[in-house]
Amino acid sequence: MKGIFITGTDTDVGKTWVSEKLIVFLVSQGVNVMPRKPVESGWPDDKTLSDAWKLASAASKTKQLTQICPNRFKAALSPDRAAILENKIILINDLKEQCLQSVAENQFLYVEGAGGYYSPICSDGLNKDLAVALGLPIILVVKDRLGCINQTLLTLEAIEKSKLELLAIVLNKTNSADVVGMDNLADLRTHCNIPVISIAYNQQDSKPFERLSMLSP
């Protein structure tokens, strides 16, 4: 089965924004994308403000929202802690089955994790454990800010230990990336042998997403 698992060096690094744009581009190229956000905490009263809705909308599959995100929790905490507060238990195997449900071999499975690669995602595992269970190649999103090189290299080491393929590093350039003299793109390319693709937040240029899609299996 073709697909990718998108994760980050931390929470709030722009995974969903990158996912939206990449899914839209893949769909424009005729790819039948099946998005999955198997668990989301901090679920809003207005579902259209959720990350899962954004992924569903990008793939034109909002009617499948329940299947795209079957586990939703109110507290804006790690999913495992948010689930505990609602007296619920979810397991890695549950998330794996939910991600794979109703996905055909000719479709493209797009799974977005929650938080960073080593962030807890359920009662018995981390995002890393779900990625391993699915066996999908990874795209890593990094927020372009001071300190991100350390976070990125640590996450690369963790992915290597998981024996999963890392397709690309996406450097998400936000307004915070204005430190004089900082050039994380050049520095990451020096320290990594993985493609590093810079994307300016809210940019309209589709070329970076085209590059990402070319790296996707």
**Domain spans of the chain, in order of start:** 2-215
54 in catalytic set: no
Cα distances (Å, whole numbers) of residue 103 to 20, 95, 98, 111, 194: 19, 14, 10, 12, 29
End-to-end CA distance of the chain: 9
Mean pLDDT confidence for 141-158:
95
Mean pLDDT confidence for 65-72:
98
For residue 4, what pLDDT is reported? 97
pLDDT at 198 over 80: yes
Q: What is the pTM of this model?
A: 0.93
- Cβ neighbours, 10 Å, residue 98: 18
Least confident range from 62-71, 95-104, 142-151, 178-187: namely: 178-187
Mean pLDDT confidence for 13-33:
94
- Taking the CA atoms of residue 143, residue 144, residue 149 and residue 152 in that order, the dihedral angle to the nearest 10 degrees is 20
For residue 205, what pLDDT is reported? 67
Q: Which two tokens stand for residue 41?
A: 């905490």
Which candidate in 37, 61, 128, 173 is catalytic? 37
Mean pLDDT confidence for 93-107:
97
For residue 179, what pLDDT is reported? 72
Provide the mean pLDDT of the chain: 93
| Residue 117 dihedral angles phi and psi, to the nearest 5° | -60, -35
pLDDT at 209 over 60: yes
Residue 111 — pLDDT band, cuts 50, 70, 90? very high
What DSSP letter does each residue of 67-116 carry, written as one string? HH--EEESSSS-HHHHHHHTT----HHHHHHHHHTT--TTSEEEEEEEEE
Span 2-215 CATH architecture: 3-Layer(aba) Sandwich (3.40)
pLDDT in tens, 172-183: 987 655 677 889
Of 11, 13, 10, 5, nearest to 144 by C-alpha is: 13
